[in-house]
Amino acid sequence: MRIDKNPKRVLRKLTQRYLKNNRLLNLFAISGIVLTCILFTCVFNVVLSVNDSIKSQMIDEIGCSDSGSFDYLTLNQVEKLKQNKKIQSSHLIYSLGVIENKKLNKNFTATTYYFSPEHFKEYKNLKMSSMEGKYPENSNEVMLSTTVLKQLSIEPIIGTEIDLKIAFQEHVLDKKFILSGVYEYNKFEDIQLMFVSDDFINTTNIYENKAIYFLFVNLKHNINLAEKFIDIMIESGYNNNENDRIEYTINPVYSKHMFLENGTFVVVFLFILFIVLSGYLLIFNVFNISILNHIKFYGQLKSIGFTSKQIKAFIIKQGLYLTGIALPIGFFFGYLIGNILLPILMKITEIDVQISMNIYIFIFAGVFTVITVYLSLLTPAKRANKMSSTEAINMNGVKKRRRFDISKKLHIHNLALLNLLRNPKQFLIIIISLSLMPIILNLMITFVCGFDYDSYMSRFVSSDFIAAHVNYFKSEYDGNSVVDEEFIKYIDTIDIKEAGTIYCDKSYGRIVDSNGFERVKEDIFHTQYRNIDYDIDLYGYDDFLLSKFEVIHGELNKDVLKSGTSIIEIIEVDDYNKPDLSTMRFKVGDHIDVYYDNHFVKTYTVVAQVKKISNFAELNGTLEFIARLALSSEEYLKIAPTPHKMSYIFNVPDSKLREIHSKLMEYVKNENESMRFKSKLEFEKQYEEAKNAFLIPGVFCAILVGLIGIINYINVFITSILSRKDELIILDKIGMIGSQRKTMLILEGVFYTLVSSITFVIVSSIVNLSALKYVMDQLWLTKYQFNYFSLFLCIPIYLIISIVTPLIIDKVVMKKG
């Protein structure tokens, strides 16, 4: 017989034959690796899917996926920039002015554009739900949205003649168009586009030599885009200074930090670390027990000349072979479970779920699983190498630490306990494995059960309903984003108990440029504060809304406010509804000189400082205000040049809440899609979804960790009984009856359950009453209350496993014996 002298081939064959003859090892090792791979695949599936969902939603909102654009160019500038080699592809759109027909209301702006075919195709796919007809080809053809046509009282019929007025700079073009196409947006857009043809620009003089072109470009890599855009400008012959600068816009999809680059990276890292430790615990234990049970075999390998390096390679090859089998199974179930968990997690956000089929999910999960397996194998391999061949061959698996007096009567429970303590380190690992699930489960259930409904609702809900323009809820409110009067009239016809309006006179205020904040329009309230002119955030409140405020200092008297000399300051609050004193700018009794458009309006006296109420004047953006102030609506209407109804807030009978919610949904959908509302029901739903978003993934992780512990436990039991098979047969021969043997094995399992139960009750209680209580006390959403049920729920489950497992294994082993 020819002997193979190639060490690598010998090692490969030996590994294959060893695994073939140790199917039990394969089963437990593959189970552990599969569970580890499932966890990693779940995490990366959720993380990358969330990342892709955020990116996709931003692209949908913007309407393009290009790297960015060079803005307001002349045709000559377009031609120069397009030649740059850094630009992989480009396309043009033309900005041609605003439609100013009188029938159009102020709920949206209608603007005129020409889109290149490539840009229009992407815009259509991202923004439009339906389209009839065709994109304009002739100079007199136009394509409009159903929203604009409805406002103009024109039927959406292809071929209809339409008179439109287009305002461009100082020009107003009055022209007859023929409707060539009609489209409908996926959702309401506050900027409605009218599309014209390329011929329209060529035959219209007002656009000649004007900077109407936007060059959208795609670069090779969408990182450091600002630097790349500046380089393109300089290379094209333009300097990046004030006189020769070309404006550009970076696509926010690539300029904003995505999910992975945010603070959530730390959470993901900790979760990965947790999985590595859990997987390590199981895989290490499987191979450690395998080596202990086959230590004589490793001693024989050493005696015939195997080096330490070869034995280490032999053990690692076993792990890698089994990993190759386990990975596809783990990928499949991990991806499947991740797709189930993702919609549950995403319900607490306003992000539309997009299941990712990103190859990196499986690459990252595979790499981390292999790393975990490799780390798990290092200690068992070191242990196999550490022992000499003589020690290994003579080893029987029992550490002689103390002598027992066998002259005394040895009870079954003493014998069971001695069997467990044969290997104290192995016993400790199993106790830790079994304790992890109840601890995690208890912490998670205690945390979620601590979600306080009243705290959550009081944070977000100040009334049953708030109605406003769609831009208000997107924090993009301006003077055009007002509550429609018809909407208010409709609300007043339904069964409402009380209602009030918040008035605001605000358009643009300040915007951010390279020099900081600069006022671009003077049509805003302002005042002198410490000799500096600041904008003030001034509102008018109806009586119903004024009565909702909680006073910090002073006295809120509605009659005094209506006198026309008094004003109140609204103070920011923290998560616990405590006033943020650092935002106070005035004191009760101070006199405030209010200006509008640099003209003095009136002097008011501060009569009260009140806590800000959620959903009352929630405005953000680029406006920089020194203070938020409020007047009675009667006084506000007298001094504000253009007072707008910013929001309409109302309460309804509790029994009618769902019915009225449904009616308003129908109205918004069918009558006025620019209007929106939020109701108490939505926040109640968000509260339940927030609880589930923590509870379901937490319980899922606890179950997986529990499976790891149970597999470890069963593995230890099987290998322990198999290693003691001869010993059990001898006991059987010398008079131990079957019921005694079974009792002994059951007691071993019960001891595991007893010790692990004591461990996880003590550890969980300590962690609960210290760390978890501290964290929950810091959160506004939760109130700490210890939950014992989940702890004691695990004990009967473990008890059943500890009784059933030994009986099954004993039956199989003794049958073979």
**pLDDT score, position 636:** 92
Return the percentage of the chain with pLDDT > 90, whole number: 10
The token pair at 138 is 């002739």
Structure-derived torsion over alpha carbons of residues 320, 324, 329, 334, reported in degrees to the nearest 10: 60
Report the residue count for the chain: 817
Q: Whole-angstrom Cα distance, residue 352 to residue 61?
A: 12
DSSP 205: G
The token pair at 209 is 């030599």
Phi/psi of residue 351, nearest 5 degrees: -95, 130
**pLDDT score, position 240:** 65
Name the nearest CA neighbour of 44 among 280, 370, 266, 271: 271
- Average pLDDT, integer, range 86-103: 85
- Average pLDDT, integer, range 69-84: 87
Q: 499 vs 49, which has greater pLDDT?
A: 499
- β-strand partners of 600: 595
Report residue 483 CA to chain centroid gap: 32
The token pair at 75 is 């045709």
CB 177 within 8 A of CB 154: no
Q: Whole-angstrom Cα distance, residue 214 to residue 85?
A: 19
**pLDDT score, position 813:** 63
The token pair at 585 is 């700018």
C-alpha distances (whole Å) from 30 to each of 318, 449, 563, 805 are: 11, 36, 80, 20
Average pLDDT, the chain: 80
Weakest-pLDDT range from 23-32, 202-211, 349-358, 430-439: 349-358
Q: What string of H, E and C letters represents the secondary structure of 462-522? A: CCCEEEEEHHHHCCCCCCCCCCCHHHHHHHHHCCCCEEEEEEECCCCCEEEECCEEEECCC
The predicted-structure confidence for 212-248, as pLDDT tens digits, reads as follows 888 999 888 888 888 888 888 888 888 766 666 788 8
pLDDT band at 265, cuts 50/70/90?
Answer: low
Amino acid at 682: E
The count of C-alpha atoms lying within 13 angstroms of the C-alpha of 811, restricted to the half-sphere facing its C-beta, is: 6
Q: Is 577 left (phi over 0), alpha (psi -120 to 50) or beta?
A: left
**pLDDT score, position 512:** 37
- Average pLDDT, integer, range 119-130: 86
Q: Is 95 left (phi over 0), alpha (psi -120 to 50) or beta?
A: beta
Question: Mapping DSSP to helix (H, G, I), strand (E, B) and coil, where does residue 225 land?
Answer: helix
Q: Per DSSP, which regions of 159-234 are E strands? A: 161-168, 171-185, 191-196, 213-219
Judged against a pLDDT cut of 50, whether residue 622 lies above it is answered with: no
Amino acid at 467: A
Q: Whole-angstrom Cα distance, residue 54 to residue 352?
A: 8
The predicted-structure confidence for 179-192, as pLDDT tens digits, reads as follows 999 998 877 777 78
Name the nearest CA neighbour of 202 among 138, 112, 115: 138
Name the nearest CA neighbour of 617 among 650, 647, 583: 647
pLDDT band at 608, cuts 50/70/90?
Answer: very high
pLDDT band at 422, cuts 50/70/90?
Answer: confident
Judged against a pLDDT cut of 90, whether residue 328 lies above it is answered with: yes
**pLDDT score, position 620:** 42
Q: What string of H, E and C letters represents the secondary structure of 374-424? A: HHHHHHHHHHHHHCCHHHHHHCCCCCCCCCCCCCCCCCHHHHHHHHHCCCH
Judged against a pLDDT cut of 70, whether residue 564 lies above it is answered with: yes
Q: Whole-angstrom Cα distance, residue 602 to residue 170?
A: 36
**pLDDT score, position 509:** 43
Judged against a pLDDT cut of 70, whether residue 126 lies above it is answered with: yes
How big is the CA angle at 704 (ends 703 and 709), to the nearest 5 degrees? 90
- Average pLDDT, integer, range 32-61: 81
| Cβ-based neighbours of 415, under 8 Å, separated by 6 or more | 744
Judged against a pLDDT cut of 80, whether residue 484 lies above it is answered with: yes
Q: 99 vs 395, which has greater pLDDT?
A: 99
**pLDDT score, position 95:** 86
pLDDT band at 775, cuts 50/70/90?
Answer: confident
Judged against a pLDDT cut of 70, whether residue 507 lies above it is answered with: no
Q: Whole-angstrom Cα distance, residue 276 to residue 274?
A: 5
pLDDT band at 520, cuts 50/70/90?
Answer: very low
- Average pLDDT, integer, range 636-644: 87
Question: Mapping DSSP to helix (H, G, I), strand (E, B) and coil, where does residue 356 land?
Answer: coil
pLDDT band at 152, cuts 50/70/90?
Answer: confident
The token pair at 20 is 């073939």
Judged against a pLDDT cut of 70, whether residue 477 lies above it is answered with: no
Q: Whole-angstrom Cα distance, residue 709 to residue 281?
A: 9
> Positive or negative, the Cα torsion across 257, 261, 266, 272?
positive
**pLDDT score, position 510:** 42
Cβ neighbours of 298 (radius 10 Å): 24
CB 33 within 8 A of CB 326: yes
Q: 707 vs 250, which has greater pLDDT?
A: 250
Q: Whole-angstrom Cα distance, residue 540 to residue 634?
A: 8
CB 73 within 8 A of CB 216: no
Alpha helices in 23-82 (DSSP H): 23-62, 75-82
Phi/psi of residue 401, nearest 5 degrees: -110, -35
Name the nearest CA neighbour of 441 among 702, 798, 760: 702
**pLDDT score, position 395:** 55
Judged against a pLDDT cut of 80, whether residue 643 lies above it is answered with: yes
**pLDDT score, position 814:** 61
Judged against a pLDDT cut of 80, whether residue 67 lies above it is answered with: yes
Q: Whole-angstrom Cα distance, residue 745 to residue 740?
A: 9
Return the percentage of the chain with pLDDT > 70, whole number: 86
Q: Whole-angstrom Cα distance, residue 704 to residue 682?
A: 33
Q: 435 vs 131, which has greater pLDDT?
A: 131
Judged against a pLDDT cut of 70, whether residue 105 lies above it is answered with: no
pLDDT band at 410, cuts 50/70/90?
Answer: low
Question: Going by DSSP bridges, is the β-strand pair 191-196/599-611 parallel, antiparallel, or unpaired?
Answer: unpaired
**pLDDT score, position 136:** 92
Burial of residue 109 (CB within 10 Å: 0-12, 13-18, 19+) is middle
Q: 380 vs 543, which has greater pLDDT?
A: 543
Q: Whole-angstrom Cα distance, residue 351 to residue 347?
A: 8
Q: Whole-angstrom Cα distance, residue 718 to residue 732?
A: 18
Judged against a pLDDT cut of 70, whether residue 489 lies above it is answered with: yes
The token pair at 752 is 């595991």
The token pair at 159 is 């071929």
- Average pLDDT, integer, range 711-725: 71
Amino acid at 321: Y
pLDDT band at 554, cuts 50/70/90?
Answer: very high
